[in-house]
Amino acid sequence: MKPPKETLQESIAHQRESLVSLLQEPMRRLAEECVPVWGDREKLDVLLGAALKELPYCKHLYALDANAIQISDNVSHEGLLEGFGRNRAKRPYLREITNSTDFFLSDAYISLRERRPSLTAIQAVRNAAGEVLGYVGAYFGLRDLPLTRELYEEPRYWRQIKGDPSIRGTVFHQTRSDSEMDQHVDTVLGVVVELMLYHGVFHVMLHFSSSRAIVWVMEDPYSYRLLDIEALIGPDICLAYPRTPYPSGARVPPEQVRGVLEAFRTLRLMDEMFYLRSGTLNIFNGLVGLTFSCDGSHYLPYDEFLRKDHDFWTGITSSKGS
């Protein structure tokens, strides 16, 4: 049995632990080697250049004095780059350094010059008495690091996200207007159910207010297809999608698909002030997405969604503004 996949935060933490294990010892040795030549720009450049062989994924190394002023050039695999004299004191990777910190791996940040996600490892350089002479910095482009990067598991618990405050502030002054999809909702839902059960559609976004749908199909999962109301009210659209067996790996049982979509209709028509603007269903991860008139959004497992009745949603949207 395969172990469960990590969550997003667990995956990030695991990758950072791997990086610390990879970098900490080479950076410690480099700091020790720098002490005898500390303050000599040329000798530091030579030493940093040799150290890059142990850090093949590092874009460049540099040395800073105790005030975070650069006392070496940026030493890259291609040679020396501009950087001597640069004040790095306000960079995010130096704000966490303290006198008791010997090694620190920054959070990812957007680099000033390349404008790309990056990481910096900082190693304190200490003399024989333990006093901090300065720091050695190693700069990495995030995309270049040798990580496992196994895709994390999308969490399957209820998440609520607040929307535009200006929309929430005016929700009591609006009323729902019947859209074309509202007027043909039975036909639309019948078509979408058919597409999901028998024609390979695994993800659907129904935009009730603007009378359109966006669908993804298993035969071509990297592209989405936009269906306007004319397509959605014509059952012969099913002729344009190949017959596809309902996937055995789907989390949503086929007999529950219609129930989820019909619950969208209930939420759309439940109240003239608080109502569903759009609903999404993905049969593989089993998640339902809801966006209400107050612009708040909810993401929750399909089975939990089906357990909530009309009164529950009326209460949560009106009392909390979604």
- For residue 118, the 8-state DSSP code is E
pLDDT band at 6 (very low <50, low <70, confident <90, very high): low
% of the chain surpassing 70 pLDDT: 82
Please answer whether residues 113 and 86 qualify as being in contact, where contact means their C-beta atoms are separated by less than 8 angstroms: no
Please answer whether residues 196 and 244 qualify as being in contact, where contact means their C-beta atoms are separated by less than 8 angstroms: no
When the candidates are 3.40.50.2000, 3.40.605.10, 3.30.450.20, 1.10.3720.10, the CATH number that belongs to 8-144 is: 3.30.450.20
Please answer whether residues 314 and 274 qualify as being in contact, where contact means their C-beta atoms are separated by less than 8 angstroms: yes
Q: Between the ranges 102-116, 145-159, 210-224, where is the mean pLDDT highest?
A: 210-224
pLDDT in tens, 230-276: 999 988 888 888 899 999 999 999 999 999 999 999 998 887 778 88
State the average pLDDT over residues 282-310: 87
pTM value is 0.64
Residue 32 confidence (pLDDT): 93
Residue 322 confidence (pLDDT): 43
25-54: b (≥16 Cβ within 10 Å) or e = ebbeebbeebeebbeeeeebbebbbebbee
pLDDT band at 2 (very low <50, low <70, confident <90, very high): very low
Beta pairing partners, 215: 204, 225
Bigger pLDDT: 217 or 162? 217
Residue 153: pLDDT over 50: yes
**Cα three-residue angle 80-46-114, rounded to 5 degrees:** 30
State the average pLDDT over residues 88-103: 77
Residue 251 confidence (pLDDT): 95
Q: Which of 79-88, 110-119, 121-130, 285-294 is the least confident region?
A: 110-119
Residue-averaged pLDDT of the chain: 83
* Per-domain residue ranges of the chain: 8-144, 159-320
